Amino acid sequence: MPPRCLTVLAAIRQGEDEALRAVLRPIGDDINGTRMPPGGRPHVAFPKSAGIHFARFAILSDPDRGPGRARLLFASVYDGTLDAHLAELVALTSDLDAIWGRCEDYAGSGDFAAFVKAHAHESSAYYIAYRDETAASVRRAIVARRADELAIDAGEPRPPHRGPSFADRLTSMIRRVIRGAPIVVDVVVALARHGFRTVYRSTLKLVASLDRYPFFKLVNEITSNAMPPRHSLFSHVSPDVCAARAPLAPGDEIPSGLRPAFREDVVTQNQLTLVTVIEPGYEHRVRAVMSAIDSYANRLAPPGSLIGISTIHFVRWLVIDDGRRLMMVSDYDGSWENYIDEFAEMIVSGLDAIWETAIGFPPDGARDLPAFKRFLRSHQVPAEVFFSAYPDETVLNIARDIRRAAPMPLGVTS
């Protein structure tokens, strides 16, 4: 079973957001629980989890409930069932009420599972880098690689490298065929929900810059599909990381007043949470784009690569608030700047398809990179708490470790 994701949005009681932040921030500062003062304080023992890959807490604005109101975001990627995940969260949290008790409708730890399920949101699109791995199997592969490295450093013979056998390749091909087959059903469902015109236009928008793939190039040639001409060869903004964030257009919203880069570049991986406002009347187009991304990610994306990008562990998009806003939650490798640069280089048309209906999106989209980065920074919500089960590892390293940890074929010994 592939890792699942949980996204919870819960309204914070009026005036309680700063008190909640004061509880969460020390947890994020001491994510491993190594600096707990005498007497303790509220803490979530994430490192003791058997099944959590990534998790975060963040506080964002809640404009639908009025100025100054806020809500709590909890997002996780986990193995197993939701009930088991929630039971583990209860066991890992020293004082559940200190966190969730500041949210409306929360009725105590005994009602925690029902509360979370009532405030959980389904993902509209969800990508997993390594679908067949659990947090435990990833850790085991990492430990095995480090043991090999220590043995080599000690002068022991290098373990033999084995490439995939014919049986490995055949099994992998069969799995990909089985995984990809339901894409026909996905297309039928998308057409029924959003209509042919919306699905057709959204799909063409997504693939307009993907001519490096022969199939997409053929589609673009047949349909005369291409990126639209730019309004200007020059950016209409100058990057200013010190400027205060402000709405980029009438109707736009700033989801957090905190510095966007808070908790970035703390470990090898980073977290990104974005909340943008969808132009009224364009919800169906956004959902059609999400359907296409989700179908590709689930059916066709090879392990560790989303349209050539090999730095994403997990990413999800959610259409929230009755279609008024789009949220993105991503766990990725490297710096924020490199992540956005790689996206803009590899799938610029995909970025435009996702956010062109957002208020404040630049006229030239992601091709105007300084303006696009300002757009993202303006809508970014920093995490108060960010946990990774394997914080020093990249997607490429994990993929390599998984291959190394694969069982040796019959007749081959180490």
Mean pLDDT lowest for which of 99-113, 148-162, 250-264?
148-162
Q: Quick one: pLDDT band at residue 262, thresholds 50, 70, 90?
A: confident
pLDDT digits 0-9 by tens, 112-164: 999 999 999 999 999 999 998 999 999 999 998 888 778 777 777 766 655 56
The mean pLDDT of 281-285, rounded to a whole number, is 95
In a 10 Å sphere around its CB, with 0-12 CB exposed, 13-18 middle and 19+ buried, how is residue 289 labelled? buried
Q: Quick one: pLDDT band at residue 412, thresholds 50, 70, 90?
A: very low
The mean pLDDT of 283-294, rounded to a whole number, is 95
pLDDT digits 0-9 by tens, 212-240: 999 899 999 999 999 999 888 778 776 56
Between 103 and 235, residue with greater pLDDT: 103
Between 299 and 20, residue with greater pLDDT: 20
Q: What value, to the nearest 5°, has the Cα angle with vertex 97 and ends 93 and 99? A: 70
Closest CA to 363 of 265, 234, 276, 191: 234
pLDDT score of 413 = 38
Distance CA 273, CA 316 (A): 10
pLDDT score of 90 = 96
What domains sit in the chain, N to C, each tagged with a CATH number?
Answer: 4-121 (3.30.70), 180-382 (3.30.70.100)
pLDDT score of 163 = 57
pLDDT score of 158 = 62
